[in-house]
Amino acid sequence: MKYTRFFLLICTSLLFMQVAISQTLSQNEQDARTVLTRYFDALGQGDTSTLRSLIGGDLLRKRARLLDNPTYPSHLVEVYRNAGVQFDQFTTRENDTVVVDVIITLATGEKLKQQFLLAKDPGSDNRPFVIRNETAVQ
């Protein structure tokens, strides 16, 4: 019984901490989080059309062949379905760019730490941010 109460107390504390952290994000950071949430949802569903709409610049050019590959969606589903995503750190830079560190826990238990660079899309009013770069972090 003591362990159950302790566990519930810890879970509740973590929930309140998460809410407090999310409330301190700037508007740009909230927009970046929204884009990355859609990105990870699309990875888990193998939705290459949505992925293409969220990626821009050189990163889109680098991934174009993958996104056009008819077997890529099933690969994405196999790898990213049931993956857990934790937004670790947001850093706003000048020129309306946001850097986000993300920890991804795959269904296999493997953890990946990725860093995303998101920037305002100057050519579009309906896409506030696009993912410009993704880098593995050690």
Tens digit of each residue's pLDDT (9 = 90 or more) over 16-27: 455 445 558 888
Complete domains list, the chain, with CATH: 27-136 (3.10.450.50)
Q: How many other CB atoms are there within 10 angstroms of residue 2's CB atom? A: 6
Q: List the helix and strand counts (H, then E) for the chain.
A: 5, 4
**Confidence (pLDDT) at 127:** 67
**Confidence (pLDDT) at 3:** 54
In 3-state terms, what secondary structure has residue 27? helix
**Confidence (pLDDT) at 126:** 67
Tens digit of each residue's pLDDT (9 = 90 or more) over 93-136: 988 899 999 999 999 999 999 999 999 877 766 668 999 999 99
pTM value?
0.80
Contact 132, 56 (CB under 8 A): yes
